[in-house]
Each structure stands twice: as C-alpha cells, then as structure tokens.
Amino acid sequence: MKVSWLWTSSLTPILNLRSKICKMIDTHAHLDEIKEINRAIQRAKDAGIRGIVAVGMDLPSNVTTIDLAEQFPDMVQPAIGYHPWSISTDTIEENLKFIEENLPSCIALGEVGIDYKTKVKKPVQWEVFSKVLSLAIRHSRPVIVHSRFSHQRSHQMVRDSGIEKAVFHWYTGSLEILEKIIDDGYYISATPALAYSPSHQAAMKVAPIERILVETDSPVEYQGKVSEPADLIMTLTELSNLKGMASEEVQRITTSNAKRFFSI
C-alpha cells in the first residue's frame, strides 16, 4: 500500500503539468539530425508537445525535413532554409532553386541568416540572406533567423527587406538591438540555454512575453545533454522562472504566439 501511495503522490504533479501543457509547439528543431526519430517523436507526444516546426539547413536537409513532415503529419510542420554554415559558392544556385520551388508548401523560411563566426565570407552570406529574404516576401512566409554575432546586420537586413514576420532565434544580442526588433513587431525565441546563458536570460527578461516563441534547437547539446523536442519543457520551465509567471500561463501565451507567427 505504501508503494502505491508513493507512486500516486509522485506522479500526480507530473500528470497535472502534462495536462496543462498539452498544446505546446517546439518552434525550431533540426529533426533531420535526430537519431531514432520515431522514439523522439513519441517522447515529445508523451511530454505533451503537440507540434514541431522542423527547420532545414541546405538541400539534403530540406529534402529530409519535408519527408519527415509527410511521415508525421499530425506533429511536424516543415520550414526550409539555407543556413550560413551550409553555404558553399558552388551550391548556392541549386539551394535557392529548391527553396523557390518548395517554399509554398512549407510554413516558414528557415533556418537562414548570418553568422560572423563561420568561415563563409560576409559578402557571400549577405548576398544569400538577401536573396532568401526576397523569396520569403514573394511567398509571404515568416522567417526564422540565425544571427550569431551578427545581430545588428541581421536585423537591419530583415527590416530593409520589408519582411513583416521574423523570429530572431536563440537571441543573445544586445538589448539596444532587441528594442528595435520588438519595435518592428518581430519576435525572439528561447531555448534550454536559458538555464545558463546570461545574454539569453537578459534578452528574455526584457522582451514582452507576447513576442517570445519557445524552442529546443534540438539536437543541440545543452550542458552535455543532446536535446530533443521533449526538452521543450526545460525551455518552458526556465522562461516561467525568469518571468515569474505560472508555467501554464507562459505555455498558453507562447503557444498562441506560435500560432499567430506561423498562421497555424
């Protein structure tokens, strides 16, 4: 009897939490890089996650991302992109062509952007980013932006292109640029790195909750653990603590943000 009481007692809060977070959406995951995807999707469902936006990096990754969305239509929505890490001058044309042809059947453009820590030359990154931004405009798609060490330029280019909906993913830039991002109506997204990254925490503290999306960027490793969409609970917990808000309230608002952002 004692064993059974212990079970009931320890499980009840978890079950309550799951029932309250039943509609969460992981807005940024590299599903094509996740091993044993069937199990990871099942664990995400078990954790109460009801949607995943799968992002692509380049042509092979975009093809797999679209395939995964077809394989898990009740859980996965595809976004396709051309990540600054993946740019090579001899494959730019074929990557842009694939995006041009397939963006209409995807919910967003991403992951795209600028990264000043990667070896690809800045002018090449700017040219590709500018071209993919025009594709997003042409097909009226929101943009998922990678802006590592390039926050100012990334924001400026998004703004100048006339894009209406953009999320500056895993934002760690200055609060001055964050203010401009918010003023322009754009979003930033939170990852499990909120547990330890001071610049990420500072941004999330200042940004209005109505402009924050939650994600995992899985399978990125956080403090030695390879992540998966089920780890969205970590992002939610950290964001709730940081904002001093109940987790169900943060879940409700960020889910509504994701639906508005992706028009889903």
Q: Are strands 221-222 and 143-146 parallel, antiparallel or unpaired?
A: unpaired
d(CA 155, CA 61): 25
**Residue 178: exposed, middle, or buried by beta-carbon count in 10 A (0-12, 13-18, 19+)?**
buried
Q: Cβ closer to Zn ion: 26 or 217?
A: 217
d(CA 65, CA 129) in angstroms, rounded, equals 20
What is the per-residue binding string for Zn ion in 74-113, x denoting contact by CB under 5 A? -------------------------------------x--
User: Whose Cβ is closer to Zn ion: residue 217's or residue 228's?
Assistant: 217
- Nearer to Zn ion by C-beta: 146 or 211? 146
> At its nearest, how many Å lie between Zn ion and the CB of residue 229?
13
* Binding piece for Zn ion, criterion CB under 5 A, among 10-18, 89-97, 134-142, 215-223: 215-223
Closer residue to Zn ion in complex, CB, 11/200: 200
136, 157 contact by CB (below 8 A): no
* Stretch of residues binding Zn ion (CB under 5 A), selected from 84-92, 202-210, 211-219, 246-254: 211-219
Residue 217: name the closest of 118, 79, 124, 36 by CA.
79
Report in angstroms how near the CB of residue 39 gets to Zn ion at its nearest: 21
Q: How far is the CB of 28 from Zn ion (least distance, A)?
A: 6
Q: How many residues bind Zn ion (CB under 5 A)?
A: 2
Does 219 sit behind a cis peptide bond, omega within 30 degrees of 0 on the bond before it?
yes
Tell me how far, at minimum, the Cβ of 111 lies from Zn ion, in Å.
5
Residue 217 as a binder of Zn ion (CB under 5 A): the answer is: yes
- DSSP secondary structure letter of residue 86: G
Residues 200, 170 contacting (CB under 8 angstroms): yes
Residue of this chain nearest to Zn ion (CB atom): 217
189, containing H or E segment:
strand 187-190
Binding stretches for Zn ion (CB under 5 A): 111, 217
